[in-house]
Chains A and B, each alone.
Chain A
Amino acid sequence: MPVIIFLPIVLFLIVLIWYIATMNNLRRAEVKINEALSDIDVALVKRHDVLSKMYDICKGYMKYEKETILETINLRSGMTMKERTNAINDLDQASNFVNVVAENYPELRSSENFKQLQISVMDVEEHLQAARRLYNSNISYLNQKVVSFPSSIVANTLGISSKEFFETKEDKKEDVKMDF
């Protein structure tokens, strides 16, 4: 008799504990994703700043000032993923532009200031890459939970769905390769 009474209670408690644990896991994954996203934004701003400084140095070597793509990039909080991807692509273009200028002016390439900024660009690039990989890793974790049973039940009740990975152009690595 006591077994008949206690068994459903124990089973209910087990299910309840599992539900709460899974719910917390999913919520934590969402928080982690947002953290990683903010890491991406921080890295993007840093990259923009460093490239702006490089551009300022390049200006002195150019015969006439040219409006660069840097000036049209608008980095703000709460960007959509598409806007972020566009910003990355624009920054890649800006980076390529700076490299082309540096290619044509050996004295610019050999200036200490420029070299330091090139090092900073590479460092910021690695931060950006790390932030993007961490973001995708967290997305992968969440998506696995969302699609696999039984955690998918909890995800459905909470209204959590699979999220998109942060993918960039395949030629992304090209702008990291800089000649010193």
Chain B
Amino acid sequence: MEDKILYIENLRKKILNHMLIILGTSITPALFIFFPLSLSAGILPASLFILIFTTVILFLILGAITGYFKKYKEYKHIYKKAFVEGPFNHAFDKVRCDFKKGISKDVIEATKIIMLGNRYYSNDYISGSYNNVDFERSDVLIQNHTSNGKNSHTVTYFQGRWLIFEFNKKFHFDLQIIGKGFTYSNKRNGFFTSKDNRRRKVEFEDIQFNKDFKVYAQDDFEAFYILTPQFIDTLKNMSNTMDGKFMMGFIDNKLHVAINTGKDAMEPSIFRSIKNTNHGEVEKEINVIINIIEGLNLDRDLYN
């Protein structure tokens, strides 16, 4: 392992040096040629814009020519193989990683529990099994970008991890649990949703739970069947320990958990030494999966 760490650390240093060289090479002509030229001709803000613009363009060109971007991608892949795939393999069974792939947009769209903008990105796909419960996870970014020609505006609907678990109770209707503060969910409780697909708000006997969560269900009875008092207690505890606002959807005998962490958890930084890097993020990812499976008793082999 020490050899591997040393190898990845050397790779990181090389990538960092490479980046600094092309950044220096890009900024020099921009600073000494384009910036003074534009400064002598016009106003300061325009000159600053030209400085940044030419630096970025030159950086992109030089990065592509010298193979920097390709090497950076390779580095990320090697890093994730070592520091993400390894721990996941250790903690779970049947682990399959595809860091370039994500959960497909169709899967998320089919749940009909979240607003889908016009931009969708997903990567860092990992699937596996814990106590015979199959799961999938992926980083997901959903945004809505609008532009009127002059101004453009981007709203991030969701950024975080999306988890899918096999659920151990059979159910026939959709159920959605929205944690307090989780925005951009799609409740499908409106007048314009067809009656068959419409979800209605369900209140439970726990007042604190009703304050912390909003539950929308197609069928009241199934909502009470799935959300047992123990399940409700666990959800209340989860809302204090989870690293982001979250929402759950019970669709097609699967449990979808969307945690809005606001970050891409698995990405390595080339500016930080491997030894100083906090690999706790990966550990956190693993613990979230284990906590959900154990906390919600998904590993209770009752119905399969």
Residues of A within 8 A of B (CB): 32, 36, 39, 119, 122-123, 126-127, 129-131, 133-134, 136-137, 140-141
Contacts and interface: CB of A to CB of B under 8 A. Distances in A.
Interface stretch (B9-17, B83-91, B99-107, B221-229): B221-229
Given A136-B205, A137-B203, A137-B205, A130 B221 contact: yes
A123 B228 CA distance: 12
B225 A126 contact: yes
Given A32-B220, A123-B302, A131-B221, A137 B204 contact: yes
Contacts of A141: 203
A112 to B, nearest CB: 14
Given A123-B302, A123-B303, A39 B228 contact: no
Contacts of A39: 221
Interface of B: 169, 203-205, 220-222, 224-225, 228-229, 302-303
Contacts of B204: 133, 137
Contacts, number: 35
Contacts of A36: 220-221
A134 B224 contact: yes
A126 B228 contact: yes
Contacts of B203: 137, 141
Contacts of A136: 205
Nearest to B203: A137
Contacts of B220: 32, 36, 134
A32 B223 CA distance: 14
Nearest to A131: B221
Nearest to B226: A130
Contacts of A137: 203-205, 224
A172 to B, nearest CB: 12
Contacts of B224: 130-131, 133-134, 137
Query: What's the dominant secondary structure at chain A's contact region?
Result: helix
Given A39-B221, A134-B221, A134-B224, A119 B205 contact: no
A32 B224 CA distance: 14
Nearest to A39: B221
Nearest to A140: B205
Contacts of A119: 302-303
A32 B202 CA distance: 13
Closest 3 CB pairs of A and B: A130-B224, A130-B225, A134-B224
Contacts of A131: 221, 224
Contacts of A122: 302
A117 B222 CA distance: 22
B302 A133 contact: no
Given A134-B221, A136-B205, A129 B228 contact: yes
A133 B222 CA distance: 11
Contacts of B229: 133
A133 B303 contact: no
A141 B222 CA distance: 18
> Which of B169, B220, B222, B225 is packed against the most chain A CB atoms within 10 Å?
B225
A108 B129 CA distance: 32
Nearest to B204: A137
Given A119-B303, A137-B204, 19 more contacts: A32-B220, A36-B220, A36-B221, A39-B221, A123-B302, A123-B303, A126-B169, A126-B225, A126-B228, A127-B225, A129-B228, A130-B228, A131-B224, A133-B205, A134-B221, A136-B205, A137-B203, A137-B224, A140-B205
